[in-house]
Structure 1
Amino acid sequence: MPIVLFALMLGVFCVGTAEIVISGLLPVVATDLAVTVPDAGLLVTGYALGVTIVGPFVTLLTTRLPRKTLVLLLMGVFALGNVAAVFAPDYDTLMAARILTSLSHGTFVAVAFNLAAMLSPADKQGSAMAKIALGFNLANALGAPLGTFVGQHLGWRATFLAIVVIAGLTVALIALFVPSTLPRPERPEKGALRSEVKVLTQRNLQLAVVITVLAQGAVFTASTYVVPLLMDVSGFSAGTVAALLVVFGVGAVLGNFAGGKLADGHVMRGVTTVLVANVVVLLLFWATSTVPVLSAVGLFLFGAVGFSIIPSLQARIQSVADAAPTLALSVNVSAFNLGNGLGAWLGGAVIDRGFGVRSVLPAAAGLAAVSLLLTLLSWRMDRSTTPAEKVKVGSTED
């Protein structure tokens, strides 16, 4: 079981790193391919659109494939896309390679979360999902910085080559250790696809997806601009900020496991707890951001509570979408990407209107508060439609 979860987590680490590492390589890519930095930035947008728009359709069309076959196929497509990136002769080819790579992202992540839940006891599914979500945290804390370092010193193609190597290791581990005796999806019947899509019309599932967008948006409203905040408001030097980002990453890893443990006990209580913590910590971070030592503590706490939401929110989706959990999880992966874009836009809009970079913290707290109110509404809706007041992960909450 540990090696299976490690293999799936490594795959999530790969796709997470491939998505975000290009941001740190934009000047290098722009120079090498003779395009502007804004044009190179569209490589980020192209990938995100592939994940957000096409990802759920890929999930829908592959829903009847055996799970092990599917994850191997998806990781193979992912590796192929990155090989194409390594040898891309021009900007247009690199864009096509990025889009090809993105097509496997949402479905692979969704299936990884779903398999982690399927292979775990009902009272440990939140923790299992936290192990998968750890891949995203490591991509932010380790994959992206290392990938940027490699790209700056050996060329951006070397970064994508390293991703291909790790993807190959992931394929080998999945082939060797993921059991082949997983429940095989039934053959599609007439109207089966319509039934899959119908799951997305459930009001509690729709509300859960909206909560994901807003909660993730709150995190990225602050995290997108945390470097200028630490330098301009807290007064840290560039070298110190680099070290503090490691502290932020450590907090994110610890918070990830804490979020999973909270979801083990009770999904909605776990989601509510992490969102309350987000509101409180963001406001405390704002209040103490002008004091360097306290600001560093606030950064650590923000990393912990901010990234505790991923396993909690994915566990919520898993619990309300028994009929089509993989499709719902894929849609929620798209929701996380939308939240990333929403947060970056909101933080930039607040700064552009003259409120200053420090103002992104209360703005983020406000967005987290809205997601908290919707969570409480969703919890109330659950209680009005089911006699059970304590709903475990893996049970139906609608």
Structure 2
Amino acid sequence: MLGNLVTGCSVLAPAGMLTELSTGLGVTIRTAGLLITFGAIVLCVGSPVTAWLTSRIERRVLLTMTLLVLALTNAASAIAPDYESLLITRLVMLAVGVLYTPQAAGTAALIVPAQKRGSTIAYVFLGWSLAAAIGLPLITFIASRYGFRATYAAIALTGFASFVFLWWRMPGGLRGAPVDLRTWVDLGRNPMIILLLSITTLQMSGQFVVFTFMGPLLAKLTGASPDAIGIVFALYGIFGFVGIVIATRIVDSWGAWKTSLLFTGLLLAGVAGWAVSAGAYVLMAGSVALWGLGFASTNSMQQVRLVGAAPAFASASVSLNTSVLYIGQAIGSAVGGLLFAREWLYSAGYVATVFVALALAVVIATRPRRVTRAAAAE
């Protein structure tokens, strides 16, 4: 979970300090936003490739070395002399860091009994909620006062601590099922897997139309200060944490589909609320809190559903989920950047709402079929 906190902060960091990156590196806010867009492209390509290349590596070695690389590349980002150097460092960081989240989920599935798998994967994913609840507000706070370099240094220190703790506590000898070409073919022929992956893509595309530029959008639409922007990020993360705690508690009894339906509905309500209330800080902040309830919970439920749909290929399917998650980030941040550059600030929320509404429609379409007693007997 702590490793996911580091991974989440590494991925999300630019969103919390776009203005400071723009000022410190002498580039436009839209150019600074490309750190997220290009990074997402590397992540979406890298996830299935690295899952294939590393499937035979012992999990303790794989996860701890990934965290060490994240720590070192965040340290290198703190001393990057210009935008180009920072971009290259970030691409290297994410090309390796893409390993962590799907492999952590797959490893958790190896450690616990099947009946605890859903709640355990959701718990491991709490790290991403903490990255938003604690990490993003701290990133905004530190960057607004001490600059983006101090922020990267803080993430590097956290990454190194996570590396040490995981190496100390994680059991050795854990290995997942090897991933080969046939694995991807089998997953590609599974209609449920394809539909679940489309949900992730649509959810993330919609969110990142707004989320990538949330700070500058708040500043332009409401005149919010850096501290006021940090409060909104905190609400997003805190309610994300609350949402995933609730999801962790109910998923084993409700089932992953009902839990996913609930939190995707909350996600849609929050994003639509942002669109309708654009320009009113208090209402936008309240909408972000509602949005936050759904953002991490929906993705953790996606992982639970993917593991349940093909348990033998959990690491591969979760890697694909991570890949399409970052495809969604790339699509959303690119669309959001285009809207921001053209000053279509109010349109962003409505475009995001359309994406998330489509995701909810697909969630409804993937409702599990009831198995009758007669069919079960056969």
After TM superposition, the score normalised by the length of structure 2 is 0.83
How far off is 1:251 after superposition? 1.3
Aligned residues: 372
1:137-156 to 2 correspondence within 5 Å?
Answer: 137-156=129-148
- Consecutive unaligned residues of structure 2, counting only runs of 5 or more, are none
Structure with more relative contact order (C-alpha pairs < 8 Å, separation 6 or more): 2
1:363-374 to 2 correspondence within 5 Å?
Answer: 363-374=351-362
2:154 pairs with one of 138, 162, 174 = 162
Q: Which residue of 1 aligns with 2:323?
A: 334
- Consecutive unaligned residues of structure 1, counting only runs of 5 or more, are 1-8, 389-398
Contact 1:248 1:303 in 2 (8 A): yes
1:1-398 to 2 correspondence within 5 Å?
Answer: 9-26=1-18, 28-29=20-21, 39-182=31-174, 184-185=175-176, 193-201=180-188, 202-224=190-212, 237-238=224-225, 240-265=228-253, 266-283=255-272, 296-346=285-335, 357=346, 360-379=348-367
How far off is 1:48 after superposition? 1.9
SS at match of 1:308: helix
Separation in structure 2 between the aligned mates of residue 228 and residue 89 of structure 1, nearest angstrom: 24
C-alpha deviations, 1:105-149, integer Å up to 9, x for none?
221110111222333343333322222222222222322332343
Separation in structure 2 between the aligned mates of residue 277 and residue 108 of structure 1, nearest angstrom: 27
SS at match of 1:323: helix
Q: Which amino acid aligns with 1:209?
A: L
* Range that drifts further, 55-64 or 23-32: 23-32
How far off is 1:66 after superposition? 1.1
* Range that drifts further, 321-330 or 204-213: 321-330
* Range that drifts further, 319-328 or 66-75: 319-328
Separation in structure 2 between the aligned mates of residue 35 and residue 353 of structure 1, nearest angstrom: 17
Residues 57/342 of structure 1: CA separation in 2 closer, same or farther (3 Å cut): same
How far off is 1:73 after superposition? 2.0
Separation in structure 2 between the aligned mates of residue 176 and residue 26 of structure 1, nearest angstrom: 36
Residues 197/352 of structure 1: CA separation in 2 closer, same or farther (3 Å cut): same
Separation in structure 1 between the aligned mates of residue 270 and residue 85 of structure 2, nearest angstrom: 44
C-alpha deviations, 1:295-333, integer Å up to 9, x for none?
554432222133321211111122123232112212211
Cα RMSD (Å) of the superposition?
A: 3.5
Separation in structure 1 between the aligned mates of residue 304 and residue 37 of structure 2, nearest angstrom: 27
SS at match of 1:332: helix
Q: Which amino acid aligns with 1:50?
A: V
How far off is 1:280 after superposition? 4.3
Contact 1:214 1:368 in 2 (8 A): yes
How far off is 1:215 after superposition? 1.9
Residues 246/380 of structure 1: CA separation in 2 closer, same or farther (3 Å cut): closer
Contact 1:56 1:107 in 2 (8 A): no
SS at match of 1:163: helix
Residues 180/276 of structure 1: CA separation in 2 closer, same or farther (3 Å cut): same
Q: Which amino acid aligns with 1:276?
A: G
Percentage of identical aligned residues: 26
How far off is 1:52 after superposition? 1.3
Separation in structure 1 between the aligned mates of residue 33 and residue 74 of structure 2, nearest angstrom: 17
Residues 249/89 of structure 1: CA separation in 2 closer, same or farther (3 Å cut): closer
Q: Which amino acid aligns with 1:198?
A: V
How far off is 1:216 after superposition? 2.3
* Range that drifts further, 254-263 or 323-332: 254-263
SS at match of 1:307: helix
Contact 2:129 2:296 in 1 (8 A): yes
Residues 382/71 of structure 1: CA separation in 2 closer, same or farther (3 Å cut): farther
How far off is 1:240 after superposition? 4.6
Separation in structure 2 between the aligned mates of residue 228 and residue 285 of structure 1, nearest angstrom: 14
* Range that drifts further, 220-229 or 247-256: 220-229
Residues 74/307 of structure 1: CA separation in 2 closer, same or farther (3 Å cut): closer
SS at match of 2:367: helix
Residues 226/194 of structure 1: CA separation in 2 closer, same or farther (3 Å cut): closer
SS at match of 2:172: coil
Contact 2:267 2:293 in 1 (8 A): no
